[in-house]
């Protein structure tokens, strides 16, 4: 449903976003054993770099399957998240992650230019994510160095 029917606080929106991030770390399974897709409205949108925009559960499931299929493991560093609240349905989470991609491991800050720093812009309404646009470097293992001469200089 596009119209809001329940008023939510920033902390409640944050709890939905945290549940999403923790489900991603748990292979797409939420804390109550449900699917990560249960956290999304049926008409939700998700953007992921190099994939594009997914619309609705079916496309979002495909996006998560495509991206998740390249990851052996992922963990988000919850204690260091930076939360930005807009006073509306939009909240922003900025943070770091680490894990293992099929092409190799990554950890934010190792080296400084490595993948693992990310920013997610959420719209959360009626306890459902209606939109999340994910901003990060999808080259988790840091293999795409040929196109960036400054990476070869380090």
- Let me know: does 41 contact 26? Beta carbons within 8 Å: no
Mention every residue, 6+ apart, whose C-beta is less than 8 A from residue 81: 93, 94, 95
Distance, first Cα to last Cα, the chain: 50
* pLDDT tens track, the chain, 154 positions: 456 677 899 999 999 999 999 999 999 999 999 999 999 999 999 999 999 999 999 999 999 999 999 999 999 999 999 999 999 999 999 999 999 999 999 999 898 888 899 999 999 999 999 999 999 998 888 888 888 888 876 5
pTM of the entire predicted model: 0.91
Radius of gyration of the chain measured on its C-alpha atoms: 16
d(CA 44, CA 42): 6
- Residue 150's SS3 state is helix
Place of tokens 């491991």: 105
Q: What is the pLDDT of residue 154?
A: 56
Q: What is the pLDDT of residue 1?
A: 46
Which of 90, 36, 93 lies closest to 67, judged by CA? 36
């Amino acid at each position: 449903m596009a119209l809001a029917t329940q008023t939510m606080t920033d902390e409640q929106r944050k709890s939905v976003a945290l549940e999403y991030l923790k489900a991603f770390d748990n292979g797409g399974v939420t804390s109550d054993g449900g699917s990560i897709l249960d956290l999304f409205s049926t008409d939700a949108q998700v953007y992921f770099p190099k994939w594009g925009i997914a619309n609705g559960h079916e496309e979002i499931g495909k996006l998560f399957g495509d991206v998740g299929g390249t990851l052996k493991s992922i963990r988000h560093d919850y204690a260091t998240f930076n939360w930005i609240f807009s006073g509306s349905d939009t909240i922003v989470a900025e943070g770091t992650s680490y894990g293992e991609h099929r092409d190799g491991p990554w950890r934010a800050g190792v080296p400084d230019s490595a993948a693992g720093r990310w920013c997610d812009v959420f719209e959360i309404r009626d306890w459902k994510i209606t939109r999340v646009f994910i901003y990060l470097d999808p080259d988790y293992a840091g293999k795409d160095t040929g196109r960036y001469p400054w990476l070869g200089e380090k």
